[in-house]
C-alpha cells in the first residue's frame, strides 16, 4: 500500500482532506483511528460511511506490519517486523527516542561488511510500510527522531522514502532535522531533496577517502568519488543548515591507518559536518575485523585534536548479535533467501 492508495480509499468513503489528515495524524501517533480531539468526539465530525468503515480500514493498516520478535539490548531494542507478504525487515528503538527504519527488504548495493547486502535486493518497502514501522514503535514508546539507516539503500527506493519523510515531517510531528536519510550517495538524492517541502538531514556513507577502495567496499554504489560526494554533501548542508553526518565503518587494517586519517582531515577541512566512526560489527564467517579498542580511541583523539568533530557510533544490537540484517538472516536462513531471489518474476522482454 502506498500513501496515495490509502488516501484514495478514504476519499471514496467521503472523507474530506481535513478528515484524511486527521486519520493519518492519529495513526502515525499510534492511536486508534476513532480517537477524537480534546473538544470533539470522532463521531461528531467524521462522515458516517467513513465511521462505519473504520474497523476494516484499521485491519488493513494493522496488516501492513507486525512485530515478529523483540530483542532487547543495552543500546535499545531491535524489532524483527513481519510484512503482509511474509517478508521481514528490521527496526531499531534507539536511545533518546530515536527509531531506525528499513526501506527495502535486502539491498542491492552489496557492501562487503553488511549482512543485509549479502542477501541482495528482494523488494522495495512501500511508504505505508515504512510509516507502519514508526507506528509500531510509537505503540511501545515515544519516537521523536527517525533515521532511514536500516535495511536497504533509500536512494534506490526514493519515491516511497520521500513520501514517508514528507508525512512524518507534516502529519507525524517530527522535526525536519530529526529525520535523517542515510545513503551511499546517488545523484538522484541531491537532485530531489532540495525540491522537497520536508528536507531531512543527510548521513553519507564515506568509509574511505580512496576511490578504488570505496568501489571495492561498496561494489554497486553510484560511481561517485569521495571528493565528489563530499562536495555534494557540503552544498546540501549549507543550503539546509544541517551538518552532514559522514559514516565511516572502521575495518582493521583496511581503512584505519594514519594515511586515511590524514586524508579525511584534508577532505573534510572546513566542511559543515561530523564524522561518525562505526567500529565493524563482526559477521558470521566474515574476514573483516574491528580495530582494537585502544586504536579506536587513538583515531578519535587524533581527529579531534586536529579540529574534526568525530563521534563513535556503535552499530545497534551488537550485544544481541542483532546488527543490521543479522536477525532477518537468522530468521529466514541463507538458503531461503536464495530461493526467494530466484522466485522473483523475471522482466518481460520488449516486443
Residues labelled as active-site residues: 90, 324
Nearest of 281, 271, 294 to residue 325 by alpha carbon = 281
**For helices 3-12 and 127-138, what crossing angle results, to 10°?**
80
Number of Cβ within 10 Å of residue 49's Cβ equals 11
State the Cα–Cα distance between residues 293 and 295, nearest whole angstrom. 5
Q: How many CA atoms lie within 13 A of 306 on its CB side?
A: 16
Contact 265, 294 (CB under 8 A): no
Q: Strand 310-312 and strand 273-279: pairing?
A: parallel
What are the C-alpha distances in Å from 254 to residues 272, 324, 327?
26, 21, 26
Q: Which helix (H) or strand (E) holds 170?
A: helix 158-170
Q: Give the list of residues 6+ apart from residue 195 with CB closer than 8 angstroms, or none.
A: none
Amino acid at each position: 500500500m502506498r500513501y496515495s492508495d490509502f488516501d484514495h480509499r478514504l476519499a471514496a468513503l467521503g472523507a474530506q482532506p481535513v478528515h484524511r489528515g486527521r486519520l493519518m495524524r492519529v495513526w502515525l501517533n499510534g492511536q486508534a483511528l476513532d480517537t477524537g480531539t480534546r473538544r470533539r468526539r470522532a463521531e461528531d465530525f467524521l462522515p458516517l460511511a467513513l465511521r462505519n468503515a473504520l474497523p476494516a480500514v484499521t485491519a488493513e493498516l494493522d496488516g501492513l506490519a507486525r512485530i515478529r520478535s523483540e530483542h532487547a539490548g543495552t543500546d535499545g531494542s531491535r524489532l524483527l517486523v513481519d510484512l503482509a507478504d511474509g517478508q521481514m525487515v528490521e527496526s531499531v528503538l534507539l536511545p533518546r527516542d530515536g527509531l531506525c527504519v528499513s526501506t527495502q527488504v535486502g539491498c542491492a548495493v552489496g557492501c562487503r561488511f553488511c549482512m543485509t547486502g549479502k542477501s541482495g535486493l528482494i523488494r522495495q518497502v512501500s511508504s505505508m510500510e515504512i510509516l507502519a514501522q514508526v507506528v509500531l514503535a510509537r505503540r511501545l514508546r515515544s519516537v521523536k527522531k527517525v533515521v532511514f539507516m536500516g535495511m536497504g539503500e533509500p536512494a534506490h527506493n526514493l519515491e516511497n522514502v520521500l513520501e514517508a519523510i514528507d508525512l512524518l515531517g507534516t502529519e507525524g510531528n517530527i522535526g525536519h532535522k530529526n529525520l535523517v536519510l542515510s545513503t551511499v550517495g546517488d545523484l538522484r538524492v541531491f537532485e530531489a531533496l532540495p525540491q522537497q517541502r520536508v528536507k531531512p538531514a543527510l548521513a553519507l556513507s564515506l568509509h574511505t577517502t580512496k576511490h578504488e577502495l570505496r568501489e571495492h567496499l561498496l561494489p554497486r554504489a553510484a560511481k561517485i568519488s569521495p571528493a565528489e560526494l563530499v562536495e555534494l554533501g557540503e552544498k546540501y548542508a549549507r543550503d539546509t543548515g544541517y551538518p552532514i553526518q559522514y559514516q565511516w565503518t572502521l575495518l582493521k587494517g583496511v581503512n584505519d591507518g594514519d594515511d586515511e586519517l590524514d586524508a579525511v582531515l584534508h577532505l573534510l577541512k572546513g566542511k559543515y559536518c561530523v564524522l561518525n566512526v562505526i567500529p565493524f560489527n563482526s559477521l558470521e564467517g566474515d574476514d573483516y575485523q574491528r580495530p582494537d579498542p585502544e586504536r579506536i580511541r587513538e583515531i578519535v583523539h587524533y581527529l579531534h585534536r586536529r579540529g574534526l568533530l568525530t563521534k563513535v557510533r556503535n552499530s545497534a544490537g551488537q550485544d544481541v548479535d542483532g546488527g543490521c540484517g543479522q536477525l532477518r538472516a537468522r530468521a529466514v536462513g541463507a538458503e531461503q533467501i536464495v530461493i526467494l531471489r530466484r522466485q522473483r518474476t523475471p522482466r518481460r522482454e520488449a516486443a
